[in-house]
Amino acid sequence: MNPLLERLQPYPFERLNALTRHITPNPALSPISLGMGEPRHPAPKLVEDALLGSLSGLSSYPPTAGSVPLRQAMADWVQRRYGLSLDAATQVLPVNGSREALFALAQAVVDASRPDPVVVCPNPFYQIYEGAALLAGATPAFANSDPARNFAADWSQIDEATWARTQLLYTCSPGNPTGAVMPLQEWAQLFELADRHDFVIASDECYSEIYFREGADAAPLSALQAAQQLGRTDYRRLIVFTSLSKRSNVPGLRSGFVAGDADIVRKFLLYRTYHGSAMSPLVQAASIAAWGDEAHVVANREAYRRKFAQVTPVLAEVLDVRLPDAGFYLWCGIPPDVCGGDDIAFAQGLLAQYNVAVLPGSLLARSAHGCNPGAGRLRLALVAEEAACLEAAQRIAAFVREARR
């Protein structure tokens, strides 16, 4: 077996299951889960109809590059959403969800024959980044979130010697779990570092369509937009990942795309041809329908806005929490007089007494630069129905108040 497999750590939910296995939740209360970031709003009917109407596609092998109409639908969405013109033939590539592609990219990018390759990640982070780095033969390096900047990553924590060994940088904007959105000046900093040290930037943007503010600048900035505004019209050293899972409430469809530097896209396509990752014709048809429609996305965004508007004030009375820039998570700080500020103890007690599941922040991060930046915090995924989310918030508030008596 590949010895690098031994370097992988258990997934956060596996660790949480082990930490709560001995707990019997309060049977008097119905279970509510805010732990898993799995969209639970209904899938759009137009996606279901497209799937059912394309069953004849089961009789043919799909090309790894996807169909011309699919790539064009993706490029058209980029044009409508960001005002950017991409070459659908060379700068866009369909993938089976962003998770699969984020992992695969590291295998295609990292050159393990070079001494001590590094992959830089935000911290806390989506654990796929770390696993992808380790199995590519690289060492992860972490940039901790900065509470003073709404938990944006502090890239200055990565020293020059580490940047010199970096081959790949993962960014996540809007961030998981913090919801922070990277501004233009932060992108300028990272592009300059990528040019100076010759590494690839992988921008994970799967939460880009869930945001809360109105106006011309309400929608999160994409790395593609940032590159264009900074004169990087060839998107060199940049590859962006997006997905239908959160945008269109179809996590089971496993559909997304990557876009950016045509040279990276070309080499990634070569890798994927051997990787066996062609998208089913049924999924392609459903994806074309989803990328072509915005009405269901607007309705989805409004549903999240209503939930956040109800839940955030309830939690703000007892926890350190504020509306994120975007995404469907609340990143909540635990007061030191509740469970000693211990996020794992809080999650265990809440499950036992109030039958609400949440994800301890320390499980989403690694100890780096002298601390675990997720410690003492909770990630709450507001993916359940509105009434369930509000009920969960009220139970959390009751748990905190009871713990303070």
- Asked if 28 and 63 sit in the same domain, the reply is no
Band (pLDDT 50/70/90 cuts) for residue 358 is: very high
Whole-number pLDDT of residue 38: 86
Q: How many domains does the chain have?
A: 2
- Asked if 196 and 138 sit in the same domain, the reply is yes
- Asked if 114 and 24 sit in the same domain, the reply is no
Q: Which of 293, 326, 348 is the last residue of a domain?
A: 293
Whole-number pLDDT of residue 150: 83
Whole-number pLDDT of residue 216: 65
Q: Which residues contact 259 (CB under 8 A, 6 or more apart)?
A: 74, 75, 78, 86, 91, 92, 93, 224, 235, 239, 240, 242, 265
- Asked if 78 and 210 sit in the same domain, the reply is yes
Residue range 315-324, pLDDT digits in tens: 999 999 999 9
Bridge partners for 170 per DSSP:
202
| pLDDT surpasses 80 at 200 | yes
Residue range 212-261, pLDDT digits in tens: 887 767 899 999 999 999 999 999 999 999 999 999 999 999 999 999 99
Residue linked to tokens 């309060």: 26
Distance of CA 360 to the CA centre of its chain: 17
Residue range 278-315, pLDDT digits in tens: 999 999 999 999 999 999 999 999 999 999 999 999 99
Average pLDDT over residues 72-83: 97
Whole-number pLDDT of residue 213: 80
- Asked if 69 and 157 sit in the same domain, the reply is yes
- Asked if 63 and 90 sit in the same domain, the reply is yes
Average pLDDT over residues 169-195: 96
Band (pLDDT 50/70/90 cuts) for residue 196 is: very high
What average pLDDT does the structure give for the chain? 95
Per residue in 319-340, is it b (16+ CB within 10 Å) or e — as a string?
bebebbbbbbbbbbbbbeebbe
Backbone phi, psi, residue 300, to 5°: -65, -45
Q: Helix, strand or coil for residue 330?
A: strand
- Asked if 244 and 318 sit in the same domain, the reply is no
The pTM of the full predicted model, rounded to 2 decimals, is 0.95
Average pLDDT over residues 73-90: 97
- Asked if 80 and 35 sit in the same domain, the reply is no
User: Which residue range is the domain that position 124 belongs to?
Assistant: 45-293
Q: What is the CATH number of the domain that holds 395?
A: 3.90.1150.10
85: amino acid identity, one letter: S
| pLDDT surpasses 80 at 138 | yes
Q: What is the CATH number of the domain that holds 59?
A: 3.40.640.10
Residue 206 DSSP class: T
